[in-house]
């Protein structure tokens, strides 16, 4: 089996820089032997910053980079010179990345735009020099403020795919095959459950040079919402899709029942998923004659549907038309 280059979850330890200390310097020149305080401020410690990068699709580059540190600020010096700031450290992530607190799981922020920057660990402030502490009653303060310590802690980065269409179905429902046929994506395909162990993205070309992004997500099993099978790992990605394409094979025992189970798993995981547009593709339909198709239509749920066969290239144009129509409509399916 191919190595898993799709990483959608990493836990990293981030340490920001300490602020530099303020200076306790006094002005000393040839003809001014007792000048006043002129100690400069310390420089700010470096931040650890998350930055969106539209060229990235995975968190793989962070998988083995567990400890990330920013630079320390320099101390202030005489002549009111402020110390230099510590170097900020940037962590590039794909669009759709969530940042969470590693201890509490609290959502900190989300990166959705290219070049968007958010501070995940703030550098310590630089200390004030003794120049700030002079007064009428204390003209020679011999103290300055130390710099603040930086912050450190474990953070979680979690990726949710930003795709237009998410494929929803039981293992071996034909999702990977469809994606490989109508896009340039090359997902692993086989006749056994859970061939797809990671999400795959494909760009699907449409009429007049238009296109949309489709995500092949590992198959659902009953209990997925509770973490069974690949569980929550893949349900997370479905939250971001504009349209859900349910895929049920023509040889299923009961199409309506399978659809109901799939829908229930989504509901139990996140009820808001039920507000997304939904369409249905009956896969492997090249094995059906017209009489069987008419018979199956009686048990199909009341949502827009199309009979397709990825292998026989049957119904794929109609499927893309249906998807495009619902991606660009305002109503619910």
Distance CA 264, CA 267 (A): 5
Could you list the residue range(s) of the whole structural domain that residue 316 is in? 165-327
pLDDT at 226 over 50: no
Question: How sure is the predictor about 234, in pLDDT bands with cuts at 50, 70 and 90?
Answer: low
Residue 230 has pLDDT above 60, yes or no: no
- Verify that 301 and 216 share a domain, yes or no: yes
In a domain, 220, yes or no: yes
Q: How many domains does the chain have?
A: 2
The answer to whether the CB of 303 falls within 8 A of the CB of 279 is yes
**pLDDT at 237 (0 to 100):** 60
Last residue of a domain, one of 159, 177, 205: 159
Residue bearing the bigger pLDDT, 9 or 172:
9
Residue-level pLDDT at 103 = 92
- The pLDDT tens digits of the residues spanning 33-71 come to 677 899 999 999 999 999 999 888 788 889 888 899 999
Examine the domain organization and report whether 149 and 17 are in the same domain. yes
Which two structure tokens, joined as six digits, stand for 226? 């509770």
Task: State the pLDDT at residue 220.
Answer: 52
Q: What's the pLDDT score for residue 145?
A: 95
Quick check: is 92 in a domain? yes
Model confidence, pTM: 0.63
**In the prediction, which pLDDT does 184 show?**
56
Is residue 332 situated within a structural domain?
no
Lowest-confidence segment of 73-82, 121-130, 131-140 by average pLDDT? 131-140
CATH number of the domain bearing residue 66: 2.70.210.12
Rg over alpha carbons for the chain, rounded to the nearest Å, is 29
């Amino acid at each position: 089996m191919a190595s898993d280059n799709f990483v959608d979850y990493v836990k990293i330890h981030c340490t920001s820089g300490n602020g530099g200390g303020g200076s306790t310097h006094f002005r000393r020149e040839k003809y001014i032997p007792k000048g006043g305080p002129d100690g400069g401020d310390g420089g700010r410690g470096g931040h650890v910053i998350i930055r969106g990068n539209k060229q990235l699709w995975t968190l793989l580059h962070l998988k083995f980079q567990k400890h990330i540190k920013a630079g320390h600020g320099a101390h202030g010096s005489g002549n009111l010179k402020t110390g230099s700031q510590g170097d900020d450290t940037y962590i590039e992530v794909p669009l759709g990345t969530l940042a969470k607190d590693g201890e509490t799981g609290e959502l900190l922020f989300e990166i959705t735009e290219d070049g968007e920057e958010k501070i995940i660990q703030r550098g310590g402030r630089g200390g004030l020099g003794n120049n700030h502490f002079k007064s009428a009653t204390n003209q020679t303060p011999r103290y300055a403020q130390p710099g603040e310590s930086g912050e450190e802690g474990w953070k979680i980065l979690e990726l949710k795919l930003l795709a237009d269409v998410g494929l929803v179905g039981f293992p071996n429902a034909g999702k990977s095959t469809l994606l490989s046929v109508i896009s340039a994506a090359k997902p692993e395909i086989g006749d056994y459950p859970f061939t797809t162990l990671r999400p795959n993205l494909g760009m699907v070309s449409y009429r007049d040079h238009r296109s949309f992004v489709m995500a092949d997500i590992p198959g659902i099993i009953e209990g997925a919402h509770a973490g069974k099978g690949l569980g929550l790992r893949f349900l997370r990605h479905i939250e971001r899709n504009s349209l859900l394409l349910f895929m049920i094979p023509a040889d299923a025992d009961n199409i309506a029942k399978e659809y109901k189970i799939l829908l229930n798993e989504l509901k139990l995981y996140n009820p808001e998923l039920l507000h997304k547009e939904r369409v249905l593709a009956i896969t492997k339909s090249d094995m059906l004659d017209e009489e069987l198709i008419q018979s199956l239509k009686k048990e199909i749920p009341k949502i827009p549907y199309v009979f397709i066969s990825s292998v026989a290239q049957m119904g794929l144009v109609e499927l893309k038309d249906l998807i495009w129509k619902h991606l660009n409509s305002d109503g619910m399916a």
